[in-house]
Structure 1
Amino acid sequence: MAGYADDLALAHLLADTADKISTARFRALDLKVDSKPDLTPVSDADTAVEKAIRATLARARPRDAVIGEEFGATDAAAGRTSRRWIVDPIDGTKNFVRGVPIWATLIALMDGDDVVVGLVSAPALGRRWWAGTGLGAYAGRHQSAATRLSVSGVATLADASFCYSSLTGWEEIGKLDAVLDIMRGSWRSRAYGDFYGYMLLAEGAVDVMVEPELSLWDVAALIPIVTEAGGTFTDLAGRTGPTGGSAIGTNGKLHPEITARLGVAVSDRY
């Protein structure tokens, strides 16, 4: 397990580079924003950050594959290596382009089917979260000023803070009524969205975070941070791992109730 410590240290270096680029472009008057084929925005900061991360990985980990939101997969990702770096250069681009400070660079390392390193860096918030398999989960401005993370001990929905990304996605998959039912039964509900809800979960500030539609780069870095903090992370089919296209993150104690309310079959649960 300790073998991933060097990879986690590299992830911090990658994030340092990303932070310099993204903060320089945040709220820049000449920020260039285009629309991708799926009509989601992409800024010049997104592409610049991913290019810089790829360049460093090409030097530091030339045998590893890279999969990024903006430039896809390297040739190595076709099966010649079990190690894949997963990069979301700016998670929360819509926030970024509107001047909202809740955005982050997401960096993960997969070894086979498992995510073994995850790092989330949100420089506009002055905060970074990271974890490695068997290494624990931490948060702080940097490694030398870090606090170990632990999820909450809340055991009942009536006492829980419930977080979600938006309601439209749940309506599209026919589970809006279930989500509204959870919200009504919770102590509090808020839509923090993107990476941030999962980081609050890992910190113990919220107890549940759910999202109906995600890509690999949206979710990979989040999983080790939540699970190393003691939480549980599955998709809507109850499967662990980053490829299910959805997410249910909880403090563990609430996972059975949340999955049941969302209609996850007992035979499919984690």
Structure 2
Amino acid sequence: MSSDLNFALRLADAADAITVARFQARDLVVTSKPDRTPVTDADTAVEDAVRAMIAAECPGDAVAGEERGGAVGPGRTWVLDPIDGTKNFLRGVPAWASLIALVDGGEPVVGVVSAPALGRRWFAARGAGAWVASGGHSVRIGVSAVASLSDAYLSTTHLGTWVEHHSREKYLALVDACWENRAFGDFWSHCLVAEGAIDVAAEAIVNPWDVAAVQIVVEEAGGRFTDLSGKARFDGGSALSTNGLLHDAALAYLA
């Protein structure tokens, strides 16, 4: 295990300690950001704790996070989403995770997605494969071999985002082309693609911290990750994860 991945896993441990303690807490403090998305005291506490660890152990690295800002530079940048799925977190739904990625030269090289309420943690490093840890064991994961959209399982986050940010009609055309669809949402859709449990995950609107970690997990699992224009980037404002075999066909519906 690389030192960077080992450090990212320790950052995830610190994040989990905070999120698990605050999940379903009766005194959870919830406020709204200017874009009306919710933020809890757990979100800010996680990002502050992770930033402090990075400053102490990797003082030369930059940090970009959802709650405290920052930008991805040309060198090493840690990209943080302290709680992806904050709406789930504050409502008591266990599908949320802390996302930690190390981006170097504009490319994710390490990614950790830790979902303690689900009892799962996905992680990857460039050239080292993708893994999921559950129940004290880690196993290597890989995407499915489904080769036709008519046999494919599709997931998104929220249908309403397609109306506002892309095209509801085009997404529904992709739905009709697939065998089955769900809305597992956020990080989970992409991680399920990496595990081979579903075949396509699409999001009309994302931020860099939403998908930097999942990009490398999907790619190291043998899949393909792009924005909806087909560019392999985490900062393109949208996201499409597939097993690779279905990617061009899915893009054709969403273009």
Q: Where on the TM-score scale, by shorter chain, does this alignment land: which range?
A: over 0.9
How far is 1:172 from its partner? 1.9
TM-score by structure 1 length?
0.92
Q: CA RMSD in A?
A: 1.3
Question: Could you tell me how far apart the structure 2 residues matched to 1:170 and 1:39 are?
Answer: 18
Work out whether 1:186 is the aligned partner of 2:178. yes
The equivalent position to 2:211 in structure 1, one of 201, 205, 219, is: 219
Please show how residues 5-154 of structure 1 align to structure 2 within 5 Å: 5-73=2-70, 82-141=75-134, 145-154=137-146
After superposition, give the CA deviation of every residue in 1:109-147 in whole Å (9 maximum; x if it has no partner).
0001111011000000111000010010000137x6111
Q: Is the 8 A contact 1:163 1:209 kept in 2?
A: yes
Q: Which amino acid aligns with 1:110?
A: V
Question: Could you tell me how far apart the structure 1 residues matched to 2:166 and 2:23 are?
Answer: 36
How far is 1:243 from its partner? 1.0
TM-score by structure 2 length?
0.97
The SS at the match of 2:171 is helix
The SS at the match of 1:221 is helix
Question: Do the aligned partners of residues 32 and 205 (structure 1) sit closer, same or farther apart at CA in structure 2, a change above 3 Å counting?
Answer: same
The SS at the match of 1:72 is coil
Match of 1:266 in 2: none
The SS at the match of 1:220 is helix
The SS at the match of 1:205 is coil
Count of paired positions:
255
Match of 1:268 in 2: none
Q: Is the 8 A contact 1:66 1:86 kept in 2?
A: yes
The SS at the match of 2:186 is coil
Work out whether 1:198 is the aligned partner of 2:178. no
Q: Which amino acid aligns with 2:254?
A: L
> Which deviates more from structure 2 when the two are superposed, residues 176-185 or residues 186-195?
176-185
Unpaired segments of 5 or more residues in structure 1?
Answer: 264-270
After superposition, give the CA deviation of every residue in 1:16-37 in whole Å (9 maximum; x if it has no partner).
0110110000000001001111
The SS at the match of 1:85 is strand
Question: Could you tell me how far apart the structure 2 residues matched to 1:166 and 1:47 are?
Answer: 24
Q: Is the 8 A contact 1:95 1:102 kept in 2?
A: yes
Unpaired segments of 5 or more residues in structure 2?
Answer: none
Question: Do the aligned partners of residues 135 and 255 (structure 1) sit closer, same or farther apart at CA in structure 2, a change above 3 Å counting?
Answer: same
After superposition, give the CA deviation of every residue in 1:131-180 in whole Å (9 maximum; x if it has no partner).
010010000137x6111010000000111001111211111235211111
Q: Which amino acid aligns with 1:106?
A: L
Identical counterparts, % of pairs: 53
Question: Could you tell me how far apart the structure 1 residues matched to 2:172 and 2:57 are?
Answer: 47
After superposition, give the CA deviation of every residue in 1:183-202 in whole Å (9 maximum; x if it has no partner).
11211100111100001100
After superposition, give the CA deviation of every residue in 1:38-93 in whole Å (9 maximum; x if it has no partner).
111100000000010001001110000001110011xxx585x6000000000000
Q: Is the 8 A contact 1:178 1:262 kept in 2?
A: yes
Question: Could you tell me how far apart the structure 1 residues matched to 2:212 and 2:247 are?
Answer: 19
